[in-house]
Amino acid sequence: MTVSAFLKDHIAIAAEQFDVSVVANTTDVRLLQRMGLDATLHPIAIVRPISLWQDLLALCALVRVFRAGHFDIVHSVSPKAGLLAMFAAVLAGVRHRVHTFTGQVWVTRRGWRRWMFRKADALLASLTTRILVDSPSQLEFLVAEGVFDAGKAEVIGKGSICGVDSARFHPDSEVRRKLRDALHIPQSDTVLLFLGRLNRDKGVLDLAGAFALLAQHCPAVRLLLVGPDEDGLAERIAEAVGAAADRVQRIDYTQQPEYFMAAADIFCLPSYREGFGQVLIEAASAGLPAVASRIYGITDAVVDGETGLLHPPGDTVAIKAALSQLIRDAPKRAAMGERARRRALNEFSQAESTQGLMAFYGKMQN
């Protein structure tokens, strides 16, 4: 999923300059070929939960791959894969070891769990030679928390792991009409969209509660929830929206997020933790203003009052108030959407993000 969602274009451009190998947790040996990528695939089972035996097997497999490949650079993404990859790269004697931080699971934890996961990130950082972070505010947070020193890390451009593909994410009136018809949503209704993994940390229960309040006074409003239900929240979401359940639709998974963005009017991300909020700039490129949490990462993706409205995390009443503002003021909503798209195109282009990463690799060759 990481390769498909974030790294595909980076790999394609890197393969024009470098001999690229990709390690991924997959059983699909044709994964890269199907994506049209000229790179070597090494399938290794790196599972998300902690599993000492499986993790040890993955570590040994990574060391073998790194030693056989004689790589100049090993670059990891995601916490668990990063920790294993950086350990393996040290053991294999890889000179340049890079990890990209894209958010911290421990931000919403308390007690020993927060301490343990934070220490794991600090250990991961200590194994690297350079660090990338996908937003300026996340970098500031990690430095303040003592995870690493500021001089070891940088952000490419204004942030984002891969920028946004404006040819893919853009306003599309025909797609809007067809998808709304397919979902039996009136063309005149205002559609609120959440797109991502449905779990507690994403604030979907807060959004459901806010929608229940909103629906009492705004009959022509719909809520679309698109993404896998990781925490089994379907029943709790249904309870939270109450009598407005008939105006809420769930789609489990999509490979065309741009279609749902084209069909929506406001993008919602009431998250408790984000490294950057990649989906926010994709929605912005599609011309959608955002209503999102005022937390690090998101504050880099959304300019409060200009490209969207920010609210305190977990504040259902504030979410409802922000949504109500944009629902009732269509000209303001449209103006914010236009500014959001302009900013996404000017500051978060996919091409510039990839060029920045290639320049970063190039500096390590010198």
Predicted pLDDT at 50: 84
pLDDT tens digit at each of 366 positions of the chain = 889 889 999 999 999 999 999 999 999 999 999 999 999 999 999 988 888 999 999 999 999 999 999 999 999 999 999 999 999 999 999 999 999 999 999 999 999 999 999 999 999 999 999 999 999 999 999 999 999 999 999 999 999 999 999 999 999 999 999 999 999 999 999 999 999 989 999 999 999 999 999 999 999 999 999 999 988 999 999 999 999 999 999 999 888 999 999 999 999 999 999 999 999 999 999 999 999 999 999 999 999 999 999 999 999 999 999 999 999 999 999 999 999 999 999 999 999 999 999 999 999 876
- Residue 41's beta-bridge partner residues? 22
Identify the residue whose tokens are 């200009």: 306
Cα(287)–Cα(262) distance, integer angstroms: 8
Q: What angle do CA 335, 284, 209 make, to 5 degrees?
A: 90
Tokens standing for residue 50: 């902690």
Task: Give the span between the Cα atoms of 131 and 153, in whole angstroms.
Answer: 4
The torsion region of residue 154 among left (phi > 0), alpha (psi -120 to 50) and beta comes to beta
Nearest residue to 135 (alpha-carbon basis) of 106, 164, 168, 158: 158
The predicted pLDDT at position 39 comes to 96
| Amino acid at residue number 17 | Q
> What is the pLDDT at residue 255?
86
Q: Specify the pLDDT at position 366.
A: 67
Same topology between domain 2-163+350-365 and domain 173-347:
yes
173-347: CATH superfamily? Glycogen Phosphorylase B; (3.40.50.2000)
- The CA radius of gyration of the chain, in Å to the nearest whole number, is 21
pLDDT in the model for residue 1: 83
From the CB of residue 162, how many other CB atoms can be counted at a distance below 10 Å?
A: 20
Domain ranges of the chain: 2-163+350-365, 173-347
Determine which helix (DSSP H) or strand (DSSP E) holds 288, and give its type and residue range: none
Within 10 A of 111 (CB to CB), how many other CB atoms are there?
Answer: 7
Q: Say whether 255 sits in a helix, a strand or coil.
A: coil
The residue written with tokens 């294999």 in the block is 92
Report, at the CATH architecture level, how domain 2-163+350-365 is classified: 3-Layer(aba) Sandwich (3.40)
